[in-house]
A and B are shown apart, each in its own frame.
Chain A
């Protein structure tokens, strides 16, 4: 970065970032002469205080309350809370309940990725947006035949772009429609979207009938057919950007540091005990793990758990260290638990003026301690799917008959549907962790979820046919206990940590994907993943400072699937020129 002579930096901010969930601002300094982003800071402007008001509440209420953290993937929170409750209460749900939750969560991925990809992200690649940001690219798209046109029905790349125009585009409207029947699938399993009504510690209240599974199946098969068209459509669109804008792979690229906390429990082995967590975690149907520079560092949930560290630095909170209350000295296996671990965190909000040289966000900075290097890694989730597919592919453990991890790829087999033959899709580990690959992974993970759901449905029906129809196991709330839940929210890693004392919640800390992705600079000066991915990223947009839309930055931020109820802010400084020296020392800011 320091090789080029610094140009005049123009402060550019976007606040709020739209077409995401929640309140995010991105504040940047753009070096137009060298066509790159010099600096980026992400901010979140909402604080509600879940960890504060959960204290003293009945531990059975945790999933109802924490669902309300997020308005699009609230059910991921509810599910993760139920996992933590199950551990703390020592309860194991009947198998059928786990298959029902897996079917609900699969429907959530199918719905949420679909809506986000084709109604929110898609607009960044639509004809109107490309015309306003890179007209030469649109011209080229008009002339470029879509390689998979016979499958998806759009002749040229520009036809795909037009179909993505908001409201007027046919594919945009189809995606809205799909987002509805997939949510109906969700409601069949978990009652309501996005705050489920039928999910409980110990299982579900869903009444397992032939009808409920039939209703799910017929909708699922429509989605399976859709995936056979949608995956090639996105491959065509994203491949075209690499071709039309050489060097686009550098947009939003960062070091491969991906975390995935696993999804879809396997009821055969999952007993929710912490002691056995390493084993049952590895049996999840999306494998948990951490990938650094292409290496699979671990697939062990215990190791993942113990490596978590919550750093402050640029956020509006009082530090609890030194002198904070220690809730959990050792985990149930006897391993020491760090004071910066979520079990031992105390949240004390300290609202203050926003200061980009000091504190500027309501988001904290979760990091993962890599024991090999001693570094506190700012892992990202790749928007969810990239990390899930990458870890699952490398681990090579998942094999449901419909989804198979090969060690370097994930194969997804979709059966014959009304109009299209059996189809195998293969997601291969990409060369980069960048904007386009985060987006591509999303579409493949939609297909993954559908294929996995076919397997879960078969399992659920087998339980039903065998007469094993119980969906709930009773339990007692212990006086003292600890619990943790690990899950994949739609946009990435999700953990809930609970401490029970005197039968009440003594401490509760959820860590959704967005604090990982949207975190500000931590106390060690390490920028969060959005900041890191945007900073230094090249600019391909044709507009100068006057009409600058920041499209490459928007695509990058949205590729992470931001969801800030759980906190990035871009604000347009109307092209103000700053007399700022381009400093490689990010902690120092001169105004």
Chain B
């Protein structure tokens, strides 16, 4: 491994890489829209070559594409036939339905098959495109783990990409599916992951570090609570009883202490917004158990009842001691006077 610490010198950097982005999973397209809001890096930073060391990137995403219809789908068809002539990263947005449940019809499709006149299912695209990809990224919680369309009682049999391809699935180069969850994805979390993979493909970075759920560790290694600026209120046993309060939200339904996500620390866009840090309970939208294991959302999480009771005695004491100290610190030393 030593020789790949700082990239792999054996890699011949590709001059051009295509990003084939399928939004036709069961999704709301919210991840594509979110990514238009990224600034660190922005989509134009990547496409226009503003980052040193990267190959030229040809982005094929339907929300931003110049081409439409068959013109748009041409590189997808070429890649499926192995005739694209350039390496590609496959991005899948949206969960994959179980087409065994759709009879002669379909739940999700992209484009029309010229031979049959029927839609080409999204699952068929994944079957054709995943095996030849340099890297496969699942963007957003639908594609990563199933998300909202995979909720209990859903008719489509929706699932995440790794549920569909298999949890041990890897690209021919040995790269597992890279999962960037979030509902939607935090914009910079995605572009930064893409950037990392482009560096890796260029031999400028070692293998992307992923946790067991396939998430980049530097983005998802901490909990919401660990990055939340309301954590101090929790420590002092000071909990919000109603929305609009500045205090810790766990008693109102916040799951932050047990959810892996960097949003309270990073903010939503340009450092602005977020979840519990700005008054929104964490509903666990980056987690494989989302949404079912977090519902009903507006109830205190069962585990929080015990942990908040435990912290309460300590917290109240600490708070009163701190208030005492603060009172003293709030006064200037006695000698600062004209008399």
Q: Which residues of A contact B (CB under 8 A)?
A: 13-23, 25, 45-49, 52-53, 55-58, 60-61, 64-65, 68-72, 74, 97, 115, 119-120, 123, 128-129, 166-167, 173, 176, 179-181, 183-184, 186-188, 191-200, 202-208, 215, 316, 349-354, 469-472, 474, 549-550, 554, 565, 569-572, 574
- A204→B244 contact, CB < 8 A: yes
Instruction: Please indicate the chain B residues that have their CB under 8 angstroms from the CB of A53 in the complex.
Output: 151-155
Flag the segment in B6-14, B27-35, B83-91, B208-216 that touches A. B27-35
User: Is B317 close to A, CB under 8 A?
Assistant: no
Interchain CB contact (< 8 A) of A46 among B30, B108, B118: B108
Known: A120-B63, A176-B36. A198 touches B278 (CB 8 A): yes
> Interface digits, B219-235 against A, CB 8 Å rule (1 contact, 0 not)?
00000000000000000
- Closest residue of A by beta carbon distance from B102: A351
Instruction: Please indicate the chain B residues that have their CB under 8 angstroms from the CB of A16 in the complex.
Output: 24, 62, 68-69, 72-73, 110-111
- A17→B107 contact, CB < 8 A: no
Flag the segment in B40-48, B127-135, B301-309, B331-339 that touches A. B40-48
Interchain CB contact (< 8 A) of B26 among A48, A65, A203: A48
Instruction: Please indicate the chain A residues that have their CB under 8 angstroms from the CB of B153 in the complex.
Output: 52-53, 55-56
Beyond A25-B119, A195-B183, A571-B112: 6 further Cβ-contacts under 8 Å? A46-B107, A46-B109, A179-B36, A194-B184, A351-B102, A469-B244
Instruction: Please indicate the chain B residues that have their CB under 8 angstroms from the CB of A352 in the complex.
Output: 103-105
User: Is B169 close to A, CB under 8 A?
Assistant: no
Interchain CB contact (< 8 A) of A180 among B37, B149, B280: B37
Instruction: Please indicate the chain B residues that have their CB under 8 angstroms from the CB of A49 in the complex.
Output: 149, 154-156
Q: How far is the CA of A64 from the CA of B296 in the complex (A)?
A: 10
Instruction: Please indicate the chain A residues that have their CB under 8 angstroms from the CB of B245 in the complex.
Output: 207
Q: How far is the CA of A71 from the CA of B30 in the complex (A)?
A: 3
Q: How far is the CA of A337 from the CA of B75 in the complex (A)?
A: 51
Instruction: Please indicate the chain A residues that have their CB under 8 angstroms from the CB of B151 in the complex.
Output: 53, 65
Known: A18-B68, A316-B105. A191 touches B273 (CB 8 A): yes
Distance in Å: Cβ of A27 to nearest Cβ of chain B: 8
Q: How far is the CA of A469 from the CA of B104 in the complex (A)?
A: 57
Known: A198-B280, A208-B244, A471-B243. A353 touches B69 (CB 8 A): no
- B69→A572 contact, CB < 8 A: yes
Known: A47-B156, A64-B297, A176-B42. A192 touches B273 (CB 8 A): yes
- A166→B69 contact, CB < 8 A: no
Interchain CB contact (< 8 A) of A215 among B37, B39, B102, B272: B272
Instruction: Please indicate the chain A residues that have their CB under 8 angstroms from the CB of B274 in the complex.
Output: 187, 191-192, 197
Instruction: Please indicate the chain A residues that have their CB under 8 angstroms from the CB of B106 in the complex.
Output: 45, 351
- A13→B112 contact, CB < 8 A: yes
Q: How far is the CA of A188 from the CA of B279 in the complex (A)?
A: 11
Known: A72-B30, A119-B64. A15 touches B112 (CB 8 A): yes
Q: How far is the CA of A60 from the CA of B297 in the complex (A)?
A: 8
Distance in Å: Cβ of A59 to nearest Cβ of chain B: 9
User: Is B148 close to A, CB under 8 A?
Assistant: yes
- A197→B30 contact, CB < 8 A: no
Q: How far is the CA of A19 from the CA of B67 in the complex (A)?
A: 9
User: Is B180 close to A, CB under 8 A?
Assistant: no
What would be 16 A-B contacts, judged by CB atoms less than 8 Å apart?
Answer: A52-B154, A61-B297, A97-B244, A119-B64, A180-B37, A191-B268, A197-B281, A197-B283, A208-B244, A349-B155, A550-B69, A554-B68, A565-B28, A569-B112, A572-B69, A574-B114
Q: How far is the CA of A482 from the CA of B37 in the complex (A)?
A: 37
Interchain CB contact (< 8 A) of B69 among A13, A181, A198, A208: A13
Instruction: Please indicate the chain A residues that have their CB under 8 angstroms from the CB of B195 in the complex.
Output: none
Most chain-A CB neighbours within 10 Å: which of B33, B34, B36, B106?
A: B33
Known: A16-B62, A61-B297, A191-B280. A167 touches B44 (CB 8 A): yes
Overall SS of chain A's interface: loop
Q: How far is the CA of A472 from the CA of B273 in the complex (A)?
A: 19
Instruction: Please indicate the chain B residues that have their CB under 8 angstroms from the CB of A120 in the complex.
Output: 63-64
Instruction: Please indicate the chain A residues that have their CB under 8 angstroms from the CB of B26 in the complex.
Output: 46-48
Question: Which residues of chain B from 36 to 85 have a CB within 8 Å of any chain A CB?
Answer: 36-37, 39, 42-44, 47-48, 62-73
- Closest residue of A by beta carbon distance from B154: A53
- A123→B66 contact, CB < 8 A: yes
Question: Which residues of chain B from 281 to 328 have a CB within 8 Å of any chain A CB?
Answer: 281-283, 285, 291, 295-298
Interchain CB contact (< 8 A) of A197 among B31, B48, B64, B280: B280
User: Is B159 close to A, CB under 8 A?
Assistant: no
- B34→A193 contact, CB < 8 A: yes
Interchain CB contact (< 8 A) of B280 among A21, A188, A196, A471: A196
Instruction: Please indicate the chain A residues that have their CB under 8 angstroms from the CB of B73 in the complex.
Output: 16
Interchain CB contact (< 8 A) of B68 among A17, A202, A349: A17
Distance in Å: Cβ of B93 to nearest Cβ of chain A: 9
- A205→B280 contact, CB < 8 A: yes
Q: How far is the CA of A354 from the CA of B116 in the complex (A)?
A: 10
5 A-B pairs with least C-beta separation: A197-B280, A71-B30, A187-B273, A351-B105, A205-B279
- A353→B272 contact, CB < 8 A: no
- Closest residue of B by beta carbon distance from A172: B44
- Closest residue of B by beta carbon distance from A200: B243
Q: How far is the CA of A105 from the CA of B104 in the complex (A)?
A: 41
Q: How far is the CA of A572 from the CA of B111 in the complex (A)?
A: 10
- A48→B158 contact, CB < 8 A: yes
- B275→A61 contact, CB < 8 A: no
